[in-house]
């Protein structure tokens, strides 16, 4: 299978050996990078219904980090060069951890998705990142290239949590490009779940599936409490027409990558 540069870089990050951290209890529970090495990440379903809880009318969904990043990011020649600039920046200062260097490099606050509601959004792994606009890290030696840097894109300086405990075990940071407007889309959609039916009924949750409201604030023919949640089947059935409803998470549908 031939993978693009973006797919290869994301896969490399998801299987990167992030080591054994003093705060990482992976010996007992396993680590993300170890689990990822045991499977073909690209074959994972983009969206999985982990659990439906009829008593609370709650839907718990996990979205493949691989598919989510592949959908929204691009590892281009510019991104590769900016990644090299960042790591040279770190090397020149001999400081760690990289999270602190990311802040110094960009002058911006690091976002860790564990701090979201719910923790991690709906992705199956935690992300740590800063989104910024180019050019930032390019030195004087690349001044002649400044006019060719794509200005209709933002960049994301990204780490993926590959350990067990969220306090440690992050990958080396890598820069990717995001299409214009994509950064807002990513941040907004991380905790979002959408449940919709072919009959036009659609619901959205902005807290990872704990509460639902009509999508786009459109009036629905029934309440969310009337939707049928089947715990054993992990299926959701429309109260309007009785059909099985489709679930998407973080802006990624279950058939998005087909």
pLDDT, averaged across the chain: 86
pLDDT of residue 175: 96
Determine the pLDDT at residue 180. Answer: 63
Q: How large is the average pLDDT for residues 16-33?
A: 72
Any idea which of 136-145, 226-235, 246-255 has the lowest mean pLDDT? Answer: 136-145
> pLDDT tens-digit profile of 55-87?
999 999 999 999 999 999 999 998 999 999 999
What pTM value is reported for the model?
Answer: 0.87
- Higher-pLDDT residue of 166 and 170 is 170
pLDDT score of 7: 96
Predicted confidence at residue 23, as pLDDT, reads 56
Contacts of 232 (CB under 8 A, 6+ apart): none
Q: Where are the alpha helices (DSSP H) in the chain?
A: 5-14, 26-29, 32-37, 65-72, 77-93, 98-106, 182-189
Q: Give yes or no for a contact between 132 and 106, defined as CB atoms under 8 angstroms apart.
A: yes
What pLDDT digit, counting tens, does each position of 123-148 carry?
999 999 999 887 554 444 444 454 55
CA dihedral sign, ordered 43, 44, 47, 51: positive
* Domain layout of the chain by residue ranges: 5-45+65-188
Residue, of 117 and 239, whose pLDDT is higher: 239
Q: What is the per-residue pLDDT for 185? A: 78
Half-sphere exposure of 226 (CA within 13 A, CB side): 11
Residue 143 has what pLDDT? 46
For residue 132, give the nearest of 101, 107, 156 by alpha carbon. Answer: 156
Judged against a pLDDT cut of 50, whether residue 104 lies above it is answered with yes
């Amino acid at each position: 299978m031939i993978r693009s540069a973006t797919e290869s870089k994301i896969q490399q990050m998801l299987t990167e050996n992030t080591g054994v951290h003093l705060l990482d209890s992976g010996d007992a529970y396993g680590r993300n990078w170890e689990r990822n090495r045991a499977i073909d990440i690209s074959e994972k379903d983009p969206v999985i219904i982990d659990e439906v809880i009829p008593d609370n009318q709650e839907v718990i969904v996990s979205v493949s980090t691989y598919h989510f990043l592949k959908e929204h990011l691009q590892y281009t020649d510019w991104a590769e060069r900016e990644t090299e600039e960042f790591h040279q920046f770190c090397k020149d200062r001999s400081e760690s951890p990289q999270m602190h260097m990311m802040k110094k490099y960009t002058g911006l606050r690091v976002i860790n998705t564990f701090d979201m509601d719910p923790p991690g959004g709906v992705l199956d792994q935690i992300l740590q990142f800063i989104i910024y606009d180019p050019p930032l890290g390019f030195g004087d030696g690349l001044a002649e290239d400044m006019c060719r840097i794509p200005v209709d894109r933002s960049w994301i300086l990204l780490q993926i949590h590959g350990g067990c405990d969220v306090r440690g075990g992050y990958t080396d940071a890598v820069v990717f490009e995001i299409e214009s407007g994509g950064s807002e889309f990513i941040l907004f959609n991380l905790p979002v779940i959408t449940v919709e039916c072919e009959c036009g009924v659609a619901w959205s949750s902005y807290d990872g599936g704990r509460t639902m409201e009509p999508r786009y604030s459109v009036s629905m023919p029934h309440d969310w409490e009337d939707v049928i949640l089947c715990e054993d089947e992990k299926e959701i059935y429309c109260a309007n027409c009785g059909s099985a409803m489709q679930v998407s998470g973080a802006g990624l549908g279950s058939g998005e990558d087909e």
